[in-house]
Chain A
Amino acid sequence: MKIYFELNGKPQYVEVEAGESLLSLLRRLGMKSVKEGCGTGECGTCTVLLEGKPVRSCLTFAPKVQGKRVTTLEGLGTLEDPHPLQRAFVEAGAVQCGFCTPGMILTAYALLQENPDPTPHEVREYLVGNLCRCTGYVKIVDAVLLAAQWKREGQWR
């Protein structure tokens, strides 16, 4: 079946299988920031934004995005022009292997849209479903708080 949706601001009209996951569709479309860690909703590496809200692309049937807006990390920033959240992750040293990073950043992005001034506890609570096997989380929370500060200072919206 064919579906129409918007991916990182660009219209897409693509063939999908009715039982296919959004994760599989996005990777077919070259969005390699979207990663399959577990495929069962446990790890968060496949997180994308659907209409601005985080969802698990591994648990989302592809046809569900018909007519909707999908954002992956590719839509947030680029190597040449990284998003402030990406800069904050680098500055705070919140990236080691990097496998969890796209999901962390997209989830953090949604948090800061809802709540631009979170406490460290609120950051942890919002990121509870995103696992990181490397960093121990401390620097990830630091990075989100740093990006939040930049947001409140008006460096980004």
Chain B
Amino acid sequence: MRLRGVRRYHWARDVDEALSLLSAYQGKGAFLAGGVDLARSPRTDLEGLIDLTGAGLSYIREDGKGLHLGATATLAEILSSAQAQEYAGGILRETLRLVAYPALRNMATLGGAVVSAHPWADIPTLLVALDAEVLYRNAEGEKRMSLAELYRTDFRRIFRESVLLEVLLPPLPGAFAFEKIGRNAGDIALLNACAGLALEDGRIAWARLSVGARPERGERLPWLEEALVGERPSEALWRKVEEEVRARIEVGSDRRASEAWRREVAGVLVRRALARAAGKAGT
């Protein structure tokens, strides 16, 4: 790997410096955090790289609003953080252990995963299920937005001139489970799913479901979330949900899997994720 044509590498000391460096390159500069994604980029137009990992955005902290994950916190740092481990019954740990392998997680950052937003990636599927919010800054100021909403905008353009500062995970009532299926343990997903449930008096009081790598990026299934509320968790319910997901989910074909395969397997993954989430929520 070599990004040809790059002449300078900068270490931004804070976000303002990063933004002014970027604007000085007039479109021929790029931010990088871990750099594992940028390193695979075919771009030949770049002249300057602006490293964000020294800009004070690697924090992990909790307050009344939830868990704040700084954009340049690495996946390994999140995996080993006690606060992140406790969040929502340990779902960050459960999911991030499925992302690539230790050597990648030592470099790859959460912010890099949010911005690169690969449709096959597990992290967007997880974060939309967790109602994640993002905070970013550009010349006009700071903006907070739900991640699901961000992904409906032209977010790649936004991040050509903005620094992602953090991902905020709000306190959630439920317990979560994540399912990923690839060709082997180290593969990227052919399909992934995240489920969250909260129970009250033996009935589902709150539900979250997202499915990704369809091959489109992970999105929630609001119709299923609504339908689940009020139901009693049972094997029969999960079988019914499996059938409904198979009938209704929007999936497609790409060179890795066919639409028919994804339709069949989406039902199974959602069933498994729901059954495990219900087990953790305490049926």
Contact = CB atoms under 8 A, between A and B. Distances in A.
Given A23-B1, A44-B103, A129-B186, A60 B35 contact: yes
Given A54-B102, A59-B35, A1 B40 contact: no
A63 B9 contact: yes
B104 interface: yes
A55 B1 contact: no
Interface string A106-120: 010011000000000
B35 A129 contact: no
B3 A19 contact: yes
Given A41-B100, A129-B104, 12 more contacts: A19-B4, A40-B1, A53-B106, A56-B107, A59-B1, A60-B36, A61-B35, A61-B51, A63-B9, A64-B51, A111-B102, A130-B101
B32 interface: yes
10 contacts: A19-B5, A20-B2, A21-B1, A24-B2, A40-B40, A54-B103, A56-B36, A59-B39, A125-B97, A129-B100
Contacts of B135: none
A120 B107 CA distance: 25
A17 B107 contact: no
B46 interface: yes
A126 interface: yes
Contacts of A90: none
Interface string A27-46: 00000000000011100100
A41 B51 contact: no
Given A63-B9, A128-B185, A41 B49 contact: no
Interface in B86-114: 97, 100-104, 106-107
A14 interface: no
A58 interface: yes
Given A58-B1, A59-B35, A19 B102 contact: no
B152 interface: no
A138 interface: no
Contact of A19 (B49, B101, B186): B49
A47 interface: yes
A114 B151 CA distance: 37
B255 interface: no
A55 B106 CA distance: 7
A39 B2 CA distance: 10
Contact of B104 (A1, A41, A66): A41
A39 B41 CA distance: 12
B93 to A, nearest CB: 13
Contact of B40 (A59, A124, A128, A129): A59
A19 B2 contact: yes
Contacts of B49: 18-19, 61, 63
